[in-house]
Amino acid sequence: MKIRTLGRHGLNVSSLGLGCMGMSFAYGGADQAQSIRTLQHAVELGVTHFDTAEVYGPYVNEELVGRALQAVRGKVTIATKFGFKILPHGEGVARMAGVDSRPQHVREAVEGSLKRLGVESIDLLYQHRVDPQVPIEDTVGAMADLVRAGKVRHLGLSEVSAATLRRAHAVHPIAAVQSEYSLWSREPEREVLPACVELGVGFVPYSPLGRGFLTGKLNDTQGLAADDYRRTLPRFQDAAMHSNRTLIEALTVLADRRGCTPAQLALAWLLAQGEQIVPIPGARQIRHLEENVAAAGIALQADELVAIQAALAAERIVGQRYGEVELGMVEL
């Protein structure tokens, strides 16, 4: 696996990371033992970058990642996130009640993440969502204090605008921005990606396979668990999925021509968008992990990139990526 650098201060990671959210959260029940095997096999395959968050579970995903990677701590980079207000009641469900990036909460959240991950320092700490009640300078200032204290190594932001990124970067260098970015979520291309290039900030696309849609294996929601989060998203409603199927058919034709799967083609396309880009596709099963990792070895030619973008032109995609409440939490 080739190495890429996030930011300008030596955060070197594998060109493909592993998003761990689905192992504990959002996509229906998961087998913890299977997830641990997948995490450990990822290291064997050369993956060094693992992404989690306190709200995934909540809390249990950090515990899972920390336990699975404890023996290889020195070989891997662990990223986690804070920024949601998590209520102290409820069992087995996300107990989010808005956002909270007050400096005091940042410090409390990091102490909790350090304990759950079983580490002395967090490699990459993201603000999960911008808190409109707290100036970004105050939040990043608190994050920077944690860097100086040795509890965090590098800082990141998630789903921020170019303007917010610039304000944050003026307080302390930002190593990475994490936002949804894929062949069917192209919003970062307008302003955020150019700002990242300008400032020397890495970019980490989450949901790089469109929450499974770009794999070509998801024709409808019938096979999803009853509590699968995707059932609530506009793009996964029947009419939108039916319309978007034509895009996947076109992607499948191009993948067949290249001798790879649609998922691999989608990831290869993302990797070709810039050396600062490190996608974090999720995978709970080893076979899906191996399929994704193989995409890192696919080098697309210029004409292939043009054909892929034409087949999945942004204006042809039906449905928003989030519902209105969640869209209100992102700045893109």
Annotated catalytic residue 126: no
| Residues 6+ away with beta carbon under 8 Å from 91 | none
3-state secondary structure the chain: CCEEEECCCCEEEECCCEECHHHCCCCCCCCHHHHHHHHHHHHHCCCCEEECCCCCCCCHHHHHHHHHHHHHHHHCEEEEEECEEECCCCCCCCCEEEECCCHHHHHHHHHHHHHHHCCCCEEEEEECCCCCCCCHHHHHHHHHHHHHCCCEEEEEEECCCHHHHHHHHHHCCCCEEEEECECCECHHHCCHHHHHHHHCCEEEEECCCHHHHHHCCCCCCCCCCCCCHHHHCHHHCHHHHHHHHHHHHHHHHHHHHHCCCHHHHHHHHHHCCCCCECCCCECCCHHHHHHHHHHHHCCCCHHHHHHHHHHCCHHHCCCCCCCHHHHCCCCC
Query: Which of 56, 181, 206, 322 is flagged as catalytic?
Result: 56
Q: Show which residues are catalytic.
A: 56
